[in-house]
A and B are shown apart, each in its own frame.
Chain A
């Protein structure tokens, strides 16, 4: 079943701007992950944040997690045309091997 929901569904920004997308989920989680999917390709793992972490950075990516609000955000700073893709959050519910994915946010970076 789909647990995460991303917001917005689509985002269009100018190169160099920041892109922020949000994810809300319903049940308690072990960790939350963000993935990127280029058109027609498989998903690529970007970053994982555990339930006891509040913020994590990886290069131009910043992820926050608020377990009290059951929400997470992904910030891409100084966006590039190559960041054009769909971004998905996925939740690993506690003591479960399975990831539940949201419907994704489609990001378009204009040159």
Chain B
């Protein structure tokens, strides 16, 4: 069966520190992968998406970057976190977007 793993569940990081969030998918090949951010009580903002290894599209200019070193691995990074990077980060995968997304359980990031 297809599953998605996202970790860590919660993270508290000081301003200026680096960030690395990892997402892995099992049970499917060549998925489309997505990173979304959700501010408190708000909808989801698409940050990055990838349709293949090494192919990253950025939706919003920001302090973050993404990489896809393997087919089923998607990493969200930052060299220096800002207070405004706080939020709930969600990884998701889909097949051509036609069957709905499957979301990970999310990472609650608090930058202090």
**Of A40, A42, A99, A102, which is within 8 A of B97 by CB?**
A99
> Chain A's interface: helix, strand, loop or mixed, by majority?
strand
B108:A98 contact, CB within 8 angstroms? no
> Chain B's interface: helix, strand, loop or mixed, by majority?
strand
8 further A-B contacts with Cβ under 8 Å, apart from A44-B103, A100-B46, are A2-B43, A30-B98, A41-B106, A43-B101, A92-B98, A99-B97, A101-B44, A103-B42
Query: What does the 1/0 interface line of A81-110 toward B look like (CB < 8 Å)?
Result: 000000010101000111111111000000
Is B30 interfacial (CB 8 A cutoff)? no
Is A13 interfacial (CB 8 A cutoff)? no
Measured between beta carbons, the chain B residues less than 8 angstroms from A104 are 42-43
A33:B100 contact, CB within 8 angstroms? yes
Given that A96-B97, A101-B43 are known contacts, is A45 also in contact with B51, CB under 8 Å in the complex?
Answer: no
Measured between beta carbons, the chain B residues less than 8 angstroms from A102 are 43
B-side interface size class: 20 to 34
**Of A40, A88, A97, which is within 8 A of B44 by CB?**
A88
